[in-house]
Amino acid sequence: MQSNGLYIRVIDERLFKTTKEVTALTRDIDYIVDKFSDDIYRAALAVTGSVHEAEDIVSEVIIKYFTRQGELFFNDDEHLKAWLLRTAINLSKDLLRSAGRRLRAENEVSASSDFSSPDMQIDVQNAINRLDKKYRIVLYLFYYQGCKTDEIADILGTSKGTVTSRLKRAREKLKLSLSDYEKEMSV
């Protein structure tokens, strides 16, 4: 009987440990989702142009993080965020490549801009959506995420000069696109 009691105690300790692990995992998932899911979503949306695909990418990134959690070590939340965003961008690009389709410009994106009218916000977002994805990504990371050019270079695996050049070209293309729009509206 004593061995039977020991067996039950070992099972109870294993269950207790498992329960603690599950509780810790749940807490970790909640933390990642609460702190980073919006950023992951916006990064995926900037690349894919699709709300539904961006939502799927968020789930994939979080699953990928937790399946590789034992292999990954980050000094702080900024490094973790950079890894999550890089993963979201890579998964988004993979999705576009595998689907073999062109990006769609959708009006579903809600930009947190301070423009005078909702119509102008939509026009600016449409102009951004028409840019090549390499320009959309740097604009998103710079303006929406507040990343510095060297941080963007790290996330994208490019040089700081490339990021600066893409930002400049993206701004020029937006300015041209929006000035054409203003001319059309004044006619």
Alpha carbon distance 68, 97 (integer Å): 24
Structural domain for 20, as ranges:
1-104
- Give the chain's radius of gyration (CA, Å): 22
Q: How far apart are CA 132 and CA 47, in angstroms?
A: 9
Q: What is the full per-residue pLDDT of the chain (187 aa) written as tens digits?
A: 444 554 455 445 555 556 676 677 778 888 888 999 999 999 998 888 888 899 999 988 988 888 887 787 888 888 899 999 999 999 988 887 775 543 333 333 334 344 455 666 677 777 887 888 888 888 888 887 788 888 888 888 889 999 999 999 988 888 888 776 666 555 5
Q: What is the pLDDT of residue 111?
A: 40
Give the per-residue SS3 of the chain. CHHHHHHHHHHHHHHHHHHHHHHHHHHHHHHHHHHHHHHHHHHHHHHHCCHHHHHHHHHHHHHHHHHCHHHCCCCCHHHHHHHHHHHHHHHHHHHHHHHCCCCCCCCCCCCCCCCCCHHHHHHHHHHHHHCCHHHHHHHHHHHHCCCCHHHHHHHHCCCHHHHHHHHHHHHHHHHHHHHHHHHHHHC
| Structure confidence at residue 109 (pLDDT) | 39
Verify that 67 and 124 share a domain, yes or no. no
Residues 79 and 7 in one domain: yes
pLDDT of residue 183: 61
Based on the domain organization, do 42 and 27 belong to the same domain? yes
Number of domains making up the chain: 2
pLDDT at 85: 92
Residue 121: per-residue pLDDT: 67
Task: Quote the pLDDT of residue 83.
Answer: 92
CATH number at residue 76: 1.10.1740
User: b or e along 139-157 (b: 16 or more beta carbons within 10 Å of the residue's beta carbon)?
Assistant: bbbbebbebebebbbbbbe
pTM: 0.55
95 with 131, same domain: the answer is no
> What integer pLDDT is reported at residue 41 of this predicted model?
92
Same domain, residue pair 64 and 126? no
Closest to 182 in 3D by CA, of 113, 111, 124, 106? 124
Residue type, position 90, single letter: N
Do 137 and 165 fall into the same domain? yes
**pLDDT number for residue 99:** 59
Of 70, 104, 138, which residue sits at a domain end? Answer: 104
- Are 134 and 183 within one domain? yes
